[in-house]
């Protein structure tokens, strides 16, 4: 590259940052806030060295020869904001792996879709591209070799470049002498997490960005037992391996050149038409059947489900794949266990990483998240347009996200409660409520058969701290123990592992083993009725973000699933099957999921009504680039200031008095943000019993913020339930609105 073009880049970047700083100073007279100073300094220190290193990387010619050309195009077109965003920093490992934008505009994503991972577009260390994936994978490969590991499972979902990225990293792991099991088409993440222990492999990778919008990709990383890696192992992988890798370490071996015993395909009982198996069709393992047969054992009443087709009123179920990898897996398992009446939402059934049914306009990119009411509306509108008798026929609609680890149901609303739901005759049931039904259903079966919950003193549930306490109350009512973790299935799995290992279960106050220590426990917030050595079996493992599994009892070894348990990460395929069974049970009793929740849970005087309200910020996507990092920190600092104000007392939020407040800080993301970064959030309690509270939390998987609110009303009756729901819904909106205004996070952004 010519010195003149490099000089142009340096001058353009410098000028852009100077202009941006000038604008900030006009908006903020006096000293710039720390967030602005820090990120401007980071940009001036990092962007040009990173850009120059990528341009002069002589090794790119071996694996991605178009990288210099894509950077050159961006400089010539003077796209300084995109260049700064691309070279500001490296994509870092989050709670489950790596995730980031592949490009900054739709045209570039479409170019990658047409031309593959090596397309000539702007790429840098802060975007998700072939070089970044290969560099991170080298670190994983070297870690595996040093730990004596030799087998890895690789899959991909519906994301753009999924097949290309998965085969690219397959070639890298083969070149490092590892045995690779590669899925032959888009697959759910849960099938990867099942395959790893099932095959006695050591690591699993899924090319995916979960529920993020079409611009994103990444990969999720699993260890030998199918869970996410522990905090310590993740630190080791990043600090001792990934951070020491250079592009000189990137090696590739074509699949067709791999030794016969070192490469295997995973899929179904026969090759998929149109897939290039590189002449290795004989190396196909039927993992789909193994996964389905394993899940069948978790039905509460397998015979009841199987006999539906002979019953007078089988469940009428609608399934929506949201353009994702569940499109075959979910109907396959539901059909095999005995659900005869399944309709697909055909408009959203095609495997397409551009997610064409969702808004892709700049700044308005929607996420294909089944837990988002707007996504549910897209699904319902499409279904109703396709089926003239759609609403009358449907009992429940169940949707999964692109990698099918999240699931959420859409249910009908009784006429008496439609005012609560803005006049709708259907609504998205929050995961918090769906999981309550699944737990109630499993416990109820025990009560029907034995008169009480069998071996209740050995059972416990685990839930993340932003997940509803309706689950806590329900479990404690039936003598089942409760553990709360920080957000993420890795944290949940570590809590369960503490029980399995027989380790002492501490009594925690706001996550702190020592009230005088500002650091919280690394993965645990709270325990209730969890005596060390008493509890043995995990009845449910769940989080608010549409994640569910059952981990079971102590595994036979460190690389197996729990005895009588399912995968150690969330599984939307599995949860879809269990929700369908619960819906069928409700229908057999002359009711449905919505009314069952009201009658059996919310109207139970030992539980009461829980409203759980959630908003992300921004509403779609994440804070973009250097401007986004500055804004995000400003909001966090304003929230910390509000916490200090609340500590002094006398603060009310939309009429609710703040009785106490807490900061949840473990320190695990301080290095990537700033000292004292409240990684698990700030919480304001509105009652002395601590059942009603607001939680603010930075996301662990994207550059975004989360607003959670829980309100509890114990005194509900059939006569006042609808009015209580409406009043608390309005109150929740008002509380979040006031907090947003106080911290400068207004919805119109």
Please list, in sequence order, all residues whose beta carbon lies within 8 angstroms of the beta carbon of residue 80, skipping any fewer than 6 positions away: 12, 13, 15, 16
3-state secondary structure 186-223: CCCHHHHHHHHHHCCCCEEEEECCCCCCCCEEEEEEEC
pLDDT of residue 338: 93
Looking from the CA of 597 toward its CB, the CA atoms found within 13 Å total 24
Q: Which helix (H) or strand (E) holds 540?
A: strand 537-543
pLDDT of residue 403: 97
Candidate from 111-115, 253-257, 360-364, 719-723 with smallest mean pLDDT: 360-364
Does pLDDT of 701 surpass 70? no
C-beta of residue 182 within 8 angstroms of C-beta of residue 233 = no
Nearest to 270 by CA among 281, 279, 280: 281
pLDDT of residue 748: 64
Q: How far apart are CA 626 and CA 111, in angstroms?
A: 25
C-beta of residue 587 within 8 angstroms of C-beta of residue 315 = yes
Joined tokens for residue 524? 């645990």
Q: What is the mean pLDDT of residues 262-278?
A: 96
Q: What is the mean pLDDT of residues 683-705?
A: 90
Q: Alpha helix (H) ranges present in 2-129?
A: 3-27, 34-55, 60-63, 67-76, 80-87, 106-115
| Interval 22-42: pLDDT, tens | 888 877 766 777 777 888 899
Task: Give the pLDDT band (50/70/90) at residue 95.
Answer: low
Whole-number Cα distances in Å, 624 to 159, 214, 550, 570: 20, 15, 36, 28
Q: What is the mean pLDDT of residues 109-124?
A: 97
Does pLDDT of 154 surpass 90? yes
Query: Please, what sign has the CA dihedral across residues 86, 87, 88, 93?
Result: positive
Joined tokens for residue 267? 């899929």
Q: What is the pTM of this model?
A: 0.95
| Interval 219-252: pLDDT, tens | 999 999 999 998 889 889 999 999 999 999 999 9
Nearest to 595 by CA among 376, 463, 415, 447: 415
pLDDT of residue 637: 92
Phi/psi for 576 (5° steps) reads -60, -40
C-beta of residue 41 within 8 angstroms of C-beta of residue 20 = no
Nearest to 562 by CA among 490, 496, 517, 505: 496
Domains and CATH numbers, the chain: 3-288 (3.40.120.10), 433-602 (3.40.120.10), 609-743 (3.30.310.50)
| Interval 605-631: pLDDT, tens | 999 999 999 999 988 777 877 777 788
In terms of phi and psi (left: phi > 0; alpha: psi -120 to 50; beta: otherwise), the region of 364 is alpha
Q: Produce one character per residue of 334-352: b if its CB has 16 or more CB atoms within 10 Å, e if not.
A: bebbbbebbbbbebbbebb
pLDDT of residue 749: 46
Q: What is the mean pLDDT of residues 628-645?
A: 91
pLDDT of residue 532: 79
C-beta of residue 551 within 8 angstroms of C-beta of residue 568 = yes
Task: Give the pLDDT band (50/70/90) at residue 94.
Answer: low
C-beta of residue 367 within 8 angstroms of C-beta of residue 620 = yes
Does pLDDT of 328 surpass 60? yes
Full DSSP string of 474-515? HHHHTT-EEEEE-SSHHHHHHHHHHHHTT------BTTBSST
Q: Which residue in this structure is represented by tokens 């193994």?
A: 290
Q: Which residue in this structure is represented by tokens 């077109």?
A: 77
pLDDT of residue 737: 96
C-beta of residue 355 within 8 angstroms of C-beta of residue 323 = yes
pLDDT of residue 129: 97
Mean pLDDT of the chain: 94
CB-count burial class (<10 Å; 0-12, 13-18, 19+) for 718? exposed
Alpha-carbon Rg for the chain, nearest whole angstrom, is 26
Q: What is the mean pLDDT of residues 628-656?
A: 93
With a pLDDT cut of 90, the percent of the chain lying above it is: 84
Q: Alpha helix (H) ranges present in 610-746?
A: 625-647, 721-743
Q: What is the mean pLDDT of residues 156-162?
A: 96
Q: Which helix (H) or strand (E) holds 748?
A: none
Nearest to 40 by CA among 67, 58, 57, 19: 19
Whole-number Cα distances in Å, 276 to 173, 175, 271: 19, 20, 9
Q: How far apart are CA 290 and CA 297, in angstroms?
A: 12
Q: What is the mean pLDDT of residues 157-168?
A: 96
| Interval 705-745: pLDDT, tens | 999 999 999 999 999 999 999 999 999 999 999 999 999 99
CA 102 to chain centre: 18
């Amino acid at each position: 590259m010519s010195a003149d073009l490099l000089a142009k880049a340096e001058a353009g970047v410098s000028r852009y940052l100077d202009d941006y700083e000038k604008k900030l100073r006009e908006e903020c007279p006096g000293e710039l806030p720390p967030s602005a100073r820090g990120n401007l300094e980071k940009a001036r220190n990092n962007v040009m060295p990173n850009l120059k290193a990528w341009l002069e990387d002589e090794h790119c010619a071996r694996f991605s020869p178009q990288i210099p050309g894509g950077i050159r195009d961006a400089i010539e077109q003077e796209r300084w904001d995109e260049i700064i965003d691309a070279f500001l920093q490296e994509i870092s490992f989050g709670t489950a792996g790596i995730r980031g934008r592949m490009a900054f505009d739709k045209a570039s994503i479409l170019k990658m879709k047409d031309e593959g991972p090596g397309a000539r577009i702007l790429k840098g260390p802060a975007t998700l591209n072939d070089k970044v994936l290969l560099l991170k994978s080298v670190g994983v490969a070297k870690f595996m070799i040093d730990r004596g590991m030799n087998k890895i499972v690789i899959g991909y979902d519906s994301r753009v470049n999924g097949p290309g990225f998965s085969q690219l990293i397959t070639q890298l792991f083969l070149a490092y002498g590892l045995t690779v099991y590669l899925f032959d088409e888009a697959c759910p993440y849960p099938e990867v997490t099942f395959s790893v222990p099932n095959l006695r492999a050591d690591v699993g990778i899924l090319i995916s960005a979960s529920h993020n919008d079409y611009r994103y990709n990444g990969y999720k990383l699993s260890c030998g037992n199918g869970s996410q890696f522990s905090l310590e192992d993740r630190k080791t992988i990043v600090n001792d391996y990934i951070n020491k890798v250079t592009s000189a370490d990137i090696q590739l071996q074509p699949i067709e050149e791999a030794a016969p015993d070192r490469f295997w395909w995973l899929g179904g009982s026969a090759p998929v038409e149109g897939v290039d198996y590189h002449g290795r069709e004989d190396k196909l393992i039927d993992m789909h059947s193994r996964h389905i047969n394993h899940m069948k054992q978790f039905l509460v009443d397998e015979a009841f489900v199987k006999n539906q087709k002979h019953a007078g009123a089988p469940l009428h179920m609608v399934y929506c794949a949201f353009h994702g990898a569940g499109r075959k897996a979910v109907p396959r398992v539901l059909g095999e266990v005995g659900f005869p009446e399944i309709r697909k939402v055909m408009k959203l059934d095609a495997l397409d990483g551009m997610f064409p049914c969702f808004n892709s306009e700049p700044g308005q990119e929607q996420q294909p998240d089944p837990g988002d009411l707007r996504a549910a509306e897209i699904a319902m509108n499409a279904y109703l347009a396709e089926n003239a008798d759609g609403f009358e026929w449907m009992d429940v609609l169940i949707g999964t996200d692109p990698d099918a680890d999240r699931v959420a149901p859409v249910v009908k609303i009784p006429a008496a409660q439609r005012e609560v739901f803005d006049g709708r005759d259907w609504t998205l049931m929050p995961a918090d409520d769906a999981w309550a039904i699944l737990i109630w259903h499993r416990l109820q079966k025990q009560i029907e058969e034995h008169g009480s919950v069998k071996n209740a003193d050995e059972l416990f549930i685990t839930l993340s701290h932003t997940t509803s306490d309706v689950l806590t109350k329900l479990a404690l009512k039936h003598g089942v123990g409760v553990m709360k973790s920080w957000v993420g299935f890795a944290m949940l799995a570590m809590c369960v592992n503490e029980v399995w290992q027989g380790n002492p279960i501490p009594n925690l106050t706001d996550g702190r083993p020592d009230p005088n220590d500002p650091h919280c426990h690394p993965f645990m917030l709270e325990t209730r009725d969890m005596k060390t050595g008493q509890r043995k079996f995990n009845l449910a493992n769940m989080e608010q973000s549409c994640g569910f599994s059952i981990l079971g009892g102590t595994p036979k070894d460190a690389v197996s699933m729990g005895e009588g348990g399912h995968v150690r990460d969330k599984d939307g395929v599995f949860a879809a099957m269990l929700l369908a069974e619960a819906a069928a049970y409700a229908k057999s009793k002359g009711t449905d999921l919505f009314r069952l929740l009201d009658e059996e849970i919310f109207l139970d005087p030992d539980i009461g009504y829980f409203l759980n309200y959630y908003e992300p910020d921004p509403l779609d996507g994440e804070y973009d680039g250097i401007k986004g990092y500055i804004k995000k920190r400003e909001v966090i600092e304003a929230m910390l200031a509000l916490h200090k104000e609340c500590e002094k007392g006398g603060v009310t939020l939309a009429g609710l008095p703040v009785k106490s407040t807490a900061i949840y800080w473990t320190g695990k993301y301080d290095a990537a943000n700033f000292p004292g970064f409240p990684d698990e959030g700030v919480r304001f309690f509105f009652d002395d019993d601590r059942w009603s509270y607001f939680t603010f939390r930075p996301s662990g998987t994207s550059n975004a913020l989360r607003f959670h609110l829980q309100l509890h009303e114990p005194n509900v009756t059939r006569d006042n339930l609808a009015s209580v729901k409406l009043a608390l819904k309005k109150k929740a909106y008002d509380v979040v609105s006031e907090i947003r205004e106080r911290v400068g996070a207004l919805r119109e952004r």
